[in-house]
A and B are shown apart, each in its own frame.
Chain A
């Protein structure tokens, strides 16, 4: 009898030992993985405070630490002359373009998704399929055509042409339609139709049902899609690169990309400072909202 108790005790001990060993090993692995994931960030932070501004002499703890690179970035250092850096203008341009694109695209796609989810009309399914198929065509492939269209529109109304934010936003809007309509329709389909039917019985119009009954329910997911869309537009570079030609119209990504022209390694510190300021707000948003964002990523796509 006692031997059975003894064996049981042994087993428990060995189980808890195994578990602790497992946790220990996994923590060790975690340390390695974290080193892999965080190292570039630490490296760029260190580079931004390295006054030498050079890739070749940088070490993890800067030999001559200081905020020189930030002064250079904000044009406060007269000795540093590299082209035309307009950091705050670029950052503002990025926020403006991404913000307007997000708001407009969310409004347009949510309304379209309402029609696809709640109304029944001829050609509905064909259109949904067509939108899905069109989405397969990367807009990068049609860059030449987009460039020509924006150029021609600018010839007629200069405010919509090349080198304008309005032109860029319109192109973004066109590109965002397909995917976001599908995503939003997916969420709307999950909202029970009894909710709108109760509104119908009370004599509410579609518009009233949409704005007063459905939108409040959709708010959490709208916020997540909004953030993802903002970040996506904020990070875009190809379209902005092609359509914006003047330095003061650049978005931040285009501005940062021009640092790589010529001797990238001699502007490394200034690039690091700019990259850090550009990335930090996005990083913080992501980390704070990681659960909601993970939910938004999977909700539309993963079949559970």
Chain B
């Protein structure tokens, strides 16, 4: 018997597809393609190029999956995969990209969007064409200007319309007064000189066609033609200020002169690893950052140990079939686990309020003193650990009481015969066997608490603040809540997506390393392969 001939029948040969199923498949993919093409076309026309690329990839993959017979197994997961790519993988890649840019306040636009805005800026050149002016205002609050240039030529100017040469008495323009200026213009009232001079809006209005030769009021006596202030030179990647000749070079997405003057808006630019360099070196940032990182490692460690210990203690104490009221006790002890976390965290926030909270009012009545939770850094940290103990022990109570059942009673009997004390039995039988069973869950719990944003943020928003930090940072902040504040809450330095993303990547590596170590330790990888 040759080995090759006895190929194991897998039973996975595809049964012939029914015509109905084929028809369904073709209709589905046809409709999908129509929708996808329309959507992607709209993405491109709005300039969402990255999204268009991702959606195109998804669309191509979908077509391959549903048209190629050998891709049959993927049809079972196609829709799920599409969501996974769009809302998990693409955001991760986007975050990695942003981590190498300066995306954030002052750098939201792309360079292509920012340069036209910069070039739109104008200035009033010295010695340019200037006019004397008279202002008119309509019922609706629109303005018009009557301009007289040095040669005595007269013009009518309105915002957003071309400036035209005009004469009093024609085309709806009123008769000239003694000084040759129209008494009124159709739809507009003439403003007297005093009112016009004190009008707050007038000096900011650009008269004339947008982007053309604009006229703006410079003084009560003079209006002047504006000139483009900044000119961008693509060859040297510089901007020259036409009013004084200053040269602005591109420094990390902001046009800056040698003496530090800048032009707003800046733009998004690839800045390489500068976010990471800043992360590592900037004293203003790394001061709080070191503190946050230390706390970020301590907080989950203490939380895991405390919740696991209490949960285990309860499980061991009541691990007795005949214990009275066992079921009731367990249900009551489970309560913290059954309430949505946000609600319980906010309840604790109220109860531990140092001024009004019940805990402090009671303690003050009894002892005349109560811990200044939320005010003193150390007490705030203790409060967080206490709340997390309350939130977390029922989980380990459930897990460990389940695992205790699985430890064979024979072992205990043998130990009793050998004369082992209850403590010895616990130390050398219960604990080691339990740790093997729930070890992975302890690591998972550590990772969960490492990123326990909800607790930190909802309790007191990471506070109390670290004095002297350049960014919003608090004594109970973990990296994730710090990242959230950097990205979504404007502090002293404004919103900083780039820097926040860089820290996100660092968090990813820390958590990833812990998790990988756990997989290695528990042979998770091998398990994946074994199940073939």
Q: Which residues of A contact B (CB under 8 A)?
A: 23, 26-27, 29-30, 33-34, 36-38, 40-41, 43-44, 47, 54-56, 58, 108-109, 111-112, 114-117, 119-121, 124-125, 128-129, 131-134, 136-146, 148-149, 152-153, 155-157, 170-171, 173-175, 177-178, 181, 189, 197, 200, 203, 205-206, 231, 234-235, 237-238, 242, 253, 256-257, 259-260, 264-265, 268, 271-272, 275, 278-279, 282-283, 285-287, 290, 293-295, 297-298, 301-304
Instruction: Please indicate the chain B residues that have their CB under 8 angstroms from the CB of A56 in the complex.
Output: 355-356
Mark B67-100 against chain A: 1 for CB-CB distance below 8 A, else 0. 0000011101101110110111111101100100
Q: Flag if B46 contacts A177 (CB, 8 Å).
A: no
> How many B residues, CB 8 Å from partner?
106
Q: Is the CB of B46 within 8 A of A156?
A: yes
Contact A119 B12 (CB under 8 A): yes
Q: Are A140 and B87 in contact (CB under 8 A)?
A: no
Option from A111, A174, A200, A294 in Cβ contact (under 8 Å) with B84: A174
| Sample of 9 A–B contacts (CB below 8 Å) | A37-B332, A40-B347, A108-B80, A120-B73, A137-B88, A140-B480, A140-B484, A290-B331, A297-B395
Whether the Cβ atoms of B80 and A257 lie closer than 8 Å is: no
Contact B87 A170 (CB under 8 A): yes
User: Smallest distance from the beta carbon of B399 to chain A beta carbons, Å?
Assistant: 6
Tell me what chain A mostly uses at the interface: helix, strand, loop, or mixed. helix
Q: Which residue of B lies closest to A283 (CB)?
A: B338
Contacts of A138 in B (CB 8 A): 451, 453, 480, 507, 511
- Of chain A, the residue at the smallest CB distance from B441 is A301
Q: Are A40 and B351 in contact (CB under 8 A)?
A: yes
The answer to whether the Cβ of B290 comes within 8 Å of any Cβ in the partner chain is no
Residues of chain B lying within 8 A (CB to CB) of residue A146 = 87, 91
Chain B residue nearest to A235 in the complex (CB) = B340
Chain B interface mostly: helix
Which of B125-133, B219-227, B523-531 lies at the interface? Answer: B523-531
Indicate which residue in A34, A175, A231, A301 contacts B88 across the interface (CB closer than 8 Å).
A175
Whole-angstrom distance between the alpha carbons of A29 and B310 in the complex? 12
Number of residue pairs across A and B with beta carbons under 8 Å? 288
Please state if A203 and B15 are interface contacts (CB–CB under 8 Å): yes
Once the chains bind, are A294 and B398 in contact (CB under 8 Å)? yes
Is the C-beta of B276 less than 8 angstroms from some C-beta in chain A?
Answer: no
Report the minimal beta-carbon distance from B189 to chain A, rounded to whole angstroms: 42
B275 interface hit (Cβ, 8 Å): no
Interface residues of B (CB under 8 A from A): 10-12, 15, 39, 42-43, 46, 48, 51, 72-74, 76-77, 79-81, 83-84, 86-92, 94-95, 98, 314, 317-318, 323-325, 329-344, 346-351, 353, 355-358, 390, 394-395, 398-399, 401-403, 406, 436-438, 440-441, 444, 447, 451, 453-454, 458, 480, 483-484, 487-488, 497, 500-501, 504, 507-508, 511-512, 515-516, 519, 522, 524-525, 528-529, 531-532
Known: A140-B451, A170-B83, A181-B80. A120 touches B532 (CB 8 A): yes
With a CB–CB cut-off of 8 A, which chain A residues contact B329? 30, 34
Asked if residues A139 and B88 are in contact (CB atoms below 8 Å), the reply is yes
